[in-house]
Amino acid sequence: MMIACCGLDCLQCGAYQATQADDDEKRALVAKEWSERYGVDVKPEQINCDGCLSDGKKFYYCSDLCEIRACCVQKELAHCAVCDMYACDKLEGFFQLAPEARKALDKLHS
């Protein structure tokens, strides 16, 4: 597992998988899926990510827009499970979309 700040497993993420395999077909599939799921226009060339906490490239949402990641980075935390405010309102809202993230962080929090 490679846990992102929010509790998602980067190793299971399509963007991470496509980047590591340098697979343009997979990038196109992920862009299409995310565009439909989230109602935004994601382009295949935007599907590049080495993981939430890596020093490498990140999907633009994660690097520039994700409030959860920004909070972790500001607090210099590995992930939200080690935060004094676990689980905050931002996370609770996110967990509605990604219950698997709660399971991962709950394991790390206990």
For residue 3, list its beta bridge partners: 9
| Amino acid (1-letter code) at residue 78 | A
Q: Which of 91, 89, 97, 101 is nearest to 39 (CA)?
A: 97
pLDDT in tens, 18-35: 999 999 999 999 999 989
**pLDDT under 50 in the chain at which residues?**
none
Query: Is the distance from CB of 25 to CB of 73 less than 8 angstroms?
Result: no
pLDDT score recorded for residue 104: 94
